[in-house]
Structure 1
Amino acid sequence: MAEKKWISEKEVEAMTGRKLQTLRNDRFHGRGFPYVKNGKSVRYLVDDVVAFMEARRISTSDDLQKQNVPL
Protein backbone atom coordinates (compact mmCIF):
# COMPACT_ATOMS: atom_id res chain seq x y z
CA MET A 1 0.00 0.00 0.00
CA ALA A 2 1.38 3.40 -0.99
CA GLU A 3 2.11 5.86 1.77
CA LYS A 4 -0.14 8.92 1.80
CA LYS A 5 1.65 12.22 1.34
CA TRP A 6 0.67 15.06 3.67
CA ILE A 7 1.64 18.63 2.79
CA SER A 8 1.57 21.97 4.59
CA GLU A 9 -0.69 24.89 3.73
CA LYS A 10 2.31 26.66 2.18
CA GLU A 11 2.85 23.66 -0.10
CA VAL A 12 -0.85 23.74 -1.05
CA GLU A 13 -0.47 27.44 -1.83
CA ALA A 14 2.46 26.66 -4.16
CA MET A 15 0.66 23.69 -5.73
CA THR A 16 -2.68 25.42 -6.39
CA GLY A 17 -1.93 29.13 -6.56
CA ARG A 18 -4.48 29.82 -3.82
CA LYS A 19 -3.23 32.40 -1.35
CA LEU A 20 -2.44 31.32 2.20
CA GLN A 21 -5.10 33.65 3.60
CA THR A 22 -7.69 32.19 1.22
CA LEU A 23 -6.89 28.68 2.48
CA ARG A 24 -7.27 29.91 6.06
CA ASN A 25 -10.55 31.69 5.29
CA ASP A 26 -11.87 28.56 3.57
CA ARG A 27 -11.06 26.45 6.64
CA PHE A 28 -12.72 28.99 8.94
CA HIS A 29 -15.91 28.95 6.83
CA GLY A 30 -15.94 25.15 6.42
CA ARG A 31 -15.18 25.06 2.71
CA GLY A 32 -12.23 24.27 0.50
CA PHE A 33 -9.87 21.33 0.67
CA PRO A 34 -10.25 18.61 3.35
CA TYR A 35 -7.55 19.00 6.01
CA VAL A 36 -6.28 17.72 9.35
CA LYS A 37 -5.31 19.98 12.20
CA ASN A 38 -3.01 18.80 14.98
CA GLY A 39 -2.45 21.65 17.40
CA LYS A 40 -1.36 24.59 15.25
CA SER A 41 -0.19 22.35 12.42
CA VAL A 42 -2.47 22.06 9.37
CA ARG A 43 -1.90 19.32 6.80
CA TYR A 44 -3.58 18.36 3.55
CA LEU A 45 -3.46 15.04 1.69
CA VAL A 46 -2.09 15.58 -1.82
CA ASP A 47 -4.70 13.15 -3.19
CA ASP A 48 -7.52 15.19 -1.56
CA VAL A 49 -6.25 18.45 -3.04
CA VAL A 50 -5.96 16.91 -6.51
CA ALA A 51 -9.42 15.27 -6.26
CA PHE A 52 -11.00 18.54 -5.06
CA MET A 53 -9.53 20.43 -8.01
CA GLU A 54 -10.42 17.74 -10.56
CA ALA A 55 -14.03 17.70 -9.32
CA ARG A 56 -14.25 21.40 -10.19
CA ARG A 57 -12.67 21.11 -13.62
CA ILE A 58 -14.64 22.90 -16.30
CA SER A 59 -14.56 21.53 -19.83
CA THR A 60 -14.62 23.94 -22.75
CA SER A 61 -16.33 23.28 -26.06
CA ASP A 62 -12.84 22.69 -27.52
CA ASP A 63 -12.34 19.85 -25.02
CA LEU A 64 -15.65 18.31 -26.03
CA GLN A 65 -14.81 18.54 -29.74
CA LYS A 66 -11.52 16.74 -29.12
CA GLN A 67 -13.52 13.94 -27.48
CA ASN A 68 -15.99 13.86 -30.43
CA VAL A 69 -18.93 14.82 -28.22
CA PRO A 70 -21.74 16.44 -30.26
CA LEU A 71 -22.54 20.01 -29.20
Structure 2
Amino acid sequence: MKRPLPSRYLTPMDLADLVGVPLETVYQWRRKGTGPRGFRVGRHLRFDPEDVRLWVASLMEEAA
Protein backbone atom coordinates (compact mmCIF):
# COMPACT_ATOMS: atom_id res chain seq x y z
CA MET A 1 0.00 0.00 0.00
CA LYS A 2 1.60 3.19 -1.15
CA ARG A 3 -1.03 5.69 -0.04
CA PRO A 4 -1.45 6.48 3.66
CA LEU A 5 -4.28 4.84 5.55
CA PRO A 6 -7.18 7.07 6.58
CA SER A 7 -7.40 8.06 10.24
CA ARG A 8 -11.05 6.94 10.48
CA TYR A 9 -12.37 3.40 10.75
CA LEU A 10 -12.71 1.67 7.39
CA THR A 11 -15.86 0.20 5.89
CA PRO A 12 -15.71 -3.10 3.99
CA MET A 13 -15.89 -1.08 0.74
CA ASP A 14 -12.98 1.10 1.89
CA LEU A 15 -10.92 -2.02 2.57
CA ALA A 16 -11.84 -3.57 -0.78
CA ASP A 17 -10.85 -0.36 -2.60
CA LEU A 18 -7.65 -0.04 -0.58
CA VAL A 19 -6.32 -3.48 -1.45
CA GLY A 20 -7.95 -3.70 -4.88
CA VAL A 21 -10.25 -6.69 -4.38
CA PRO A 22 -13.99 -7.19 -4.88
CA LEU A 23 -16.19 -6.40 -1.88
CA GLU A 24 -17.27 -10.05 -1.65
CA THR A 25 -13.63 -11.02 -1.07
CA VAL A 26 -13.57 -8.90 2.10
CA TYR A 27 -16.64 -10.75 3.38
CA GLN A 28 -15.08 -14.12 2.46
CA TRP A 29 -11.95 -13.20 4.44
CA ARG A 30 -14.20 -12.38 7.38
CA ARG A 31 -16.05 -15.71 7.16
CA LYS A 32 -12.79 -17.67 6.83
CA GLY A 33 -10.97 -15.64 9.50
CA THR A 34 -8.12 -14.80 7.12
CA GLY A 35 -8.55 -11.04 6.72
CA PRO A 36 -7.82 -8.14 9.03
CA ARG A 37 -9.61 -8.05 12.36
CA GLY A 38 -12.93 -6.27 12.10
CA PHE A 39 -15.60 -5.22 14.56
CA ARG A 40 -19.25 -4.32 14.50
CA VAL A 41 -20.79 -0.99 15.36
CA GLY A 42 -24.40 -2.06 15.60
CA ARG A 43 -24.94 -3.87 12.33
CA HIS A 44 -22.09 -2.09 10.54
CA LEU A 45 -18.73 -3.78 10.02
CA ARG A 46 -15.63 -1.62 10.50
CA PHE A 47 -11.87 -2.11 10.38
CA ASP A 48 -9.24 -0.23 12.36
CA PRO A 49 -6.62 1.17 9.92
CA GLU A 50 -3.83 0.02 12.26
CA ASP A 51 -5.15 -3.56 12.22
CA VAL A 52 -5.26 -3.40 8.41
CA ARG A 53 -1.66 -2.14 8.32
CA LEU A 54 -0.50 -4.95 10.59
CA TRP A 55 -2.41 -7.53 8.53
CA VAL A 56 -0.82 -6.30 5.29
CA ALA A 57 2.62 -6.30 6.94
CA SER A 58 2.09 -9.92 8.03
CA LEU A 59 1.16 -10.90 4.47
CA MET A 60 4.28 -9.23 3.12
CA GLU A 61 6.41 -10.96 5.76
CA GLU A 62 4.94 -14.36 4.83
CA ALA A 63 5.65 -13.71 1.15
CA ALA A 64 9.29 -12.78 1.77
Displacement after TM superposition at 1:20 (Å): 0.7
2:27 is equivalent to residue 18 of structure 1? no
Segments of 4+ moved more than 2 angstroms: none
Q: Which has the higher helix share?
A: 2
Partner Cα separation in structure 1 for residue 17 and residue 59 of structure 2? 19
Query: Kindly, what percent of the aligned residue pairs are identical?
Result: 18
Question: Who is 2:41 aligned against?
Answer: 38
Unpaired segments of 5 or more residues in structure 2? 1-6
Normalised by the length of structure 2, the TM-score is 0.73
The count of corresponding residues between Structure 1 and Structure 2 is: 56
Partner Cα separation in structure 1 for residue 34 and residue 16 of structure 2? 16
Normalised by the length of structure 1, the TM-score is 0.67
Unpaired segments of 5 or more residues in structure 1? 60-71
Cα deviation 1:22-68 (Å, max 9, x = unaligned): 11111122221100012321100111111101111133xxxxxxxxx
The structure with the largest alpha-carbon Rg is 1
